[in-house]
Amino acid sequence: MKVGVPKEIKTQEYRVGMTPAGVRELVQHGHVLLVEHDAGAGIGFGDDTYRAAGASIVDNPTELFAGAEMIVKVKEPQPPEIALLRRGHVLFTYLHLAADMAQTRGLRQSGATYIAYETVTDRAGSLPLLAPMSEVAGRMAVQVGAHCLEREQGGAGILLGGVPGVPPAKVVVLGGGVSGTNAARMAVGLEASVTIIDKSLTRLKELDLQFGPRATTLFATTQSIEQAVLAADLVIGAVLVPGAAAPKLVTREMIGRMRPGAVVVDIAIDQGGCFETSRPTTHSDPIFIEQGVVHYCVTNMPGAVARTSTFALTNATLPFVLALAGKGWRQAMLDDPHLASGLNIHAGQVTHLAVAQALGLHHTAVRDALVPMVQT
């Protein structure tokens, strides 16, 4: 199969869909790799490194999209890229469609096949392709949150871990999944006072065993969230409903009652955000202040640590890319129902239930989208 790896064009996105090591694996399996000029520059890999791995370097995205059958990216396609997609293309990337009707409309009109990293599952019901970036985002959330608490950034001027004789900052983590757990781990390590809120008692028990007395766990209710948020210096939103829009756990009214100079970091912003006051921001303009509260809502947080993120992502995606390229996307999905969970759109049909429900669109079951094509 001809596999294309384009240069990312989202604002300040330095990651790339595949490392040279990943390219080499695909080439050794007999596939043709097309890599756009300077695609790996943001992580320190020049074109010669990709050539040495067996890739052909193409000059521009038009040439790459025209020559590739499957395209492996990091972020959702931007409008100029959507214009290059056509029926017969397979795009494997993060999509986060539930909060993006405009993108969904463009992808449906293209007629191509779209497989989203964030909805591929595994036997445990986890999200193996979302997990590495959730780990990065969770750890980064504490870094950026601590920075935003500095007075110069509009924060209250609080050191996250405090000092002898001065109490540490109160950090609340909404969601005890991968990103929330990694955020809590970093906050605990910096000696903040940490509270983790989740709606799963099983998960809360696991977190209690993991952190012991270093963190407090709370069952998620409207009251427990409100009380914790109003007392917090830093709130990290790390909730996730696979494929669906994030629930708005913190209302505008709650934000208005938070301490002046408090900070919220919304990791869930790709799925619409879990704070009612959130709106997407970029690495070039990452924060805004609303009702006295500093908001950090960058939609591609891991892009700031592009090298670490790209290696972690390729490690996770490579087995699936090999399956898709080796078997073809239809057979690969028929063989692996967990990969089939990643199919979001095919030939204009929305095939992921949570996405369809979030956007009010008709849902076509994955099996119904696959089987007719196999029979013909």
Q: Report, as residue numbers or ranges, the catalytic residues.
A: 96, 270
Which residues are CB-contacts of 245 (< 8 A; sequence separation ≥ 6)? 98, 99, 271, 272, 358
Q: How far apart are CA 318 and CA 19, in angstroms?
A: 10
Cα 364 from chain centroid (whole Å): 24
Q: DSSP assignment of 14-29, as one string? A: ---S--HHHHHHHHHT
Dihedral over alpha carbons 121, 124, 125, 127 (to 10 degrees): -50
Contact status, residue 69 vs residue 88, Cβ threshold 8 Å: yes
Cβ(264)–Cβ(294) below 8 Å: yes
Angle at the Cα of 49 from the Cα atoms of 48 and 53, rounded to 5 degrees: 110
**Residue carrying structure tokens 């994030």:** 246
* Helix H or strand E segment including 163: none
Give whole-number Cα distances, 112 to 16, 312, 336, in Å. Answer: 21, 27, 20
Reading the block at residue 53, the tokens are: 């791995």
What distance lies between CA 331 and its chain's CA centroid?
Answer: 26
CA distances from 49 to 43, 120, 286, 304, 317 (A): 12, 30, 32, 22, 20
Cα dihedral 79, 81, 85, 91 in deg (nearest 10): -110
- Provide the CB-side half-sphere exposure for 240 (13 A, CA): 20
Output DSSP code: residue 214: G
